[in-house]
Copies of this chain bind each other. A is one copy, B any other.
Amino acid sequence: MDKVVVILSGGMDSTTLLYHMMHAGHGVKALSVNYGQRHVRELDAAAQICRALEVEHQIADLRAIGPLLGSNSLTSESVDVPHGHYEEESMKMTVVPNRNMLMISVAVAWAVSLKFDAVAYGAHTGDHAIYPDCREAFADALDRAVQLCDWHSVKLLRPFVGMDKGDIARRGHELAVPFETCWTCYEGGEKHCGKCGACQERIEAFAKFNIADRIEYEHSSV
């Protein structure tokens, strides 16, 4: 059994990943990253999930580097979150430059200092159209760099990289993941908006295998 730092956003993919790693018998700690996302509510979700599981949870505060991340709709108040489907061109406004390498770098630093065996992140095929740093080729290359970054070798695990979000919903359902606690919406309002790409993708994922999702949407047009 390995010891693994799981990168946990508080959304359904990374929460399912955390349950999946624990179910496989690994010892886990969870890391969330505050990069100035407007949907900072996801960090409260991550903390709540970890408290319930009695898993150690750290939040790495990278807000100070916000000015280097340029203009995108997840971290800039002045750029609206696009409504519509993930595959649409407008969703590229939601790309935070090099987000995954940043989060993985911090997780690996922590894993090395803990002498842990691996870091895991929840990239999946549904992300690939928009997010280049969820592609398998990126994960493969970064895994090689991660394994070489220290004399104590750490691996980069990405068990969902060949699955889509529907498959993850099914896996999470099997593992009794508390999806109602997971935060998905990019808007970060009181309720999930139901209109942004992240909400739409969530709705479609649950529909794929006809799994009930017990959250309430602001706009339930779908």
Are A109's CB and B68's CB within 8 A?
yes
Residues of B with C-beta under 8 A to A97 = 108-110, 112-113, 150
Nearest B residue (CB) for A130:
B151
- In the complex, A101 has a CB within 8 A of chain B: yes
- In the complex, A176 has a CB within 8 A of chain B: no
Are B142's CB and A138's CB within 8 A?
no
Residues of B with C-beta under 8 A to A113 = 68-71, 97
Compute how far the CA of A148 lies from the CA of B132 in the bound complex, rounded to whole angstroms.
Answer: 7
Compute how far the CA of A96 lies from the CA of B110 in the bound complex, rounded to whole angstroms.
Answer: 10
- In the complex, A114 has a CB within 8 A of chain B: yes
Copies per complex?
Answer: 2
Are A102's CB and B100's CB within 8 A?
no
Q: Give the distance to chain B from A30, nearest Cβ to Cβ, in Å.
A: 12
Compute how far the CA of A60 lies from the CA of B115 in the bound complex, rounded to whole angstroms.
Answer: 26
Complex partner residue of A145 from B63, B71, B101, CB under 8 angstroms: B101
Compute how far the CA of A123 lies from the CA of B71 in the bound complex, rounded to whole angstroms.
Answer: 31
Are A61's CB and B70's CB within 8 A?
no
Are A68's CB and B58's CB within 8 A?
yes
Q: Offer 16 A-B interface pairs, CB within 8 angstroms, sorted by A.
A: A60-B64, A61-B65, A68-B113, A70-B114, A92-B151, A95-B150, A96-B109, A97-B109, A97-B110, A97-B112, A97-B150, A98-B105, A133-B149, A141-B141, A144-B144, A145-B145
